[in-house]
Structure 1
Amino acid sequence: MEFKKYYLDLVLVPLSFMISISYHLWLWHKVRTQPLSTVIGTNAHGRRLWVSTIMKDNEKKNILAVQTFRNTIMGSTLMATTSILLCSGLAAVISSTYSVKKPLEDTIYGAHGEFMVALKYVTLLVIFLFSFMCYSLSIRFISQVNYLINCPQDSTIVTSMYVSELLEKSFSLNAIGNRLFYLALPVVLWIFGPLLVLLCSLVMVPVLYNLDFLFEDSKKGRVSEVANEV
């Protein structure tokens, strides 16, 4: 009977992780090969145009750039603070002498031994630590962009392309931090059983697909709007 309980965790939890990982690998492939079909690629293209426009007309738009980056830094700082606070709370729970599995062991499916409960909390701790690292690096890069975007255009080293690359690194790290937060949701549900992990992953993939991809109708609408303006 105990083996059957572990069997659910050994099958359903890796399966749910493989679903999420497979979707994000496919998304990464689409971003690399067909960037304008995804929200990530389209936004990246728009940010490059924005940086080029700001640096060309820096005397009039330097305040706009600073305010925009300030809001972005505040968002990343909030998420980094949330991540490290969750890490502190999980570390306190793991190191506590109180057995965290007692209130749940009669109500969850799957294995709920001491090792399995510790594995669940340690997995959450690692996810939030990596999320904190990504947000911290994102703040580092965007802070550099905040200075470099106001450099004079006659510089041959600090070009708009270089600043755009730094900005894209910042937003990429921020996106990875967000995805790690999304991944933490099934792991939280793993505390209550492996079946919920699989169900959560199956629901998250269609939701993320609708958020990550641009559909043909919306793209045709944008093209027609641009044609009418021209």
Structure 2
Amino acid sequence: MEWRKCYLDVILVPLGFFITIAYHVWLWHKVRTQPLTTIIGTNARGRRFWVSAMMKDNDKKNILAVQSLRNTIMGSTLMATTSILLCSGLAAVISSTYSVKKPLNDTVYGAHGEFMVALKYVTLLTIFLFSFFCHSLSIRFINQVNILINTPQDATSIVTPEYVYELLEKGFLLNTVGNRLFHIGLPLLLWIFGPVLVFLCSVTMVPVLYNLDFVFGTGKGKNENHDDDFV
């Protein structure tokens, strides 16, 4: 009897999650093997040149560098704040004695038992917590770059453009991971209304992300390997 109530949750939710994870594994492979066919790889190459240009002509471009990094920090701060606010709301719902599942029992498919409802909210809470963690670490690395990018360059300088670029890439990598975790959490929010919506949203999200992640109309870099551009 329990299987009849939750079989859609057991099948559709993991399947939708697997589709999203499989896409990101394939995207990671493309970034490592053909970076210039992806937005992530192309932007990483551009940031390498940007760091070199900022540090080479630091006297004239120091304000531009600080302002650009500040805007990035503001974006990460916004996402971290949103994630922790969602975590606080989910924690309040989990600890509340009010049963949020009652109005939905007769309107959606899937299981509505106490265990399943708890599993839904705990899963969401975990994903948004990891998103907050990644964004907070991203802010840490970009703050370091904000200081080091204005370091005077000389023959004995320990802080090189390559070192600053590696710190910047770690910050952007964590920012990307935090954003993707946040995006994965959005379909799972629909799990409250049933597993069918989770699956449909996950399947719809993949082509949307594909169009946002890949460069179209150029043939550059399709056979190039630039593993050294990524941390």
The TM-score bracket by the shorter chain reads: over 0.9
Aligned to 1:186: 187
Cα offset, 1:186, TM superposition: 1.2
Q: Which deviations, in whole Å up to 9, do the C-alpha atoms of 1:98-125 show, x marking residues without a partner?
A: 1111121111101111110110011110
- Greater RCO (CA < 8 Å, at least 6 residues apart): 2
Structure 1 gap segments, 5+ residues each: 221-230
Normalising by structure 2, we get a TM-score of: 0.92
Q: What are the within-5 Å matches in structure 2 for residues 139-178 of structure 1?
A: 139-154=139-154, 155-178=156-179
Output the amino acid matched with 2:47.
Answer: R
The ranges of structure 1 where at least 4 consecutive aligned residues each deviate by more than 3 angstroms after the TM superposition are: none
Output the amino acid matched with 2:107.
Answer: T
Q: Which deviations, in whole Å up to 9, do the C-alpha atoms of 1:25-45 show, x marking residues without a partner?
A: 000010011100100000000
Aligned to 2:117: 117
Cα offset, 1:203, TM superposition: 0.5
Structure 2 gap segments, 5+ residues each: 221-231
Aligned to 1:204: 205
Cα offset, 1:156, TM superposition: 3.4
Cα offset, 1:2, TM superposition: 3.7
User: Which segment is superposed worse, 82-91 or 100-109?
Assistant: 100-109
Cα offset, 1:12, TM superposition: 0.7
Q: Which deviations, in whole Å up to 9, do the C-alpha atoms of 1:194-214 show, x marking residues without a partner?
A: 111111111000000000011
Output the amino acid matched with 2:109.
Answer: Y
Cα offset, 1:5, TM superposition: 2.2
Distance 1:201 1:98 in 2: 29
Q: What are the within-5 Å matches in structure 2 for residues 23-38 of structure 1?
A: 23-38=23-38
Q: Which deviations, in whole Å up to 9, do the C-alpha atoms of 1:127-168 show, x marking residues without a partner?
A: 110000000000000000000000111143200000000000
Q: What are the within-5 Å matches in structure 2 for residues 8-19 of structure 1?
A: 8-19=8-19
Distance 1:190 1:97 in 2: 20
Q: Which deviations, in whole Å up to 9, do the C-alpha atoms of 1:56-110 show, x marking residues without a partner?
A: 0000000000101111111111111111111111100000011111121111101
Do residues 86 (structure 1) and 83 (structure 2) align? no
Output the amino acid matched with 1:83.
Answer: S
Distance 1:121 1:139 in 2: 27
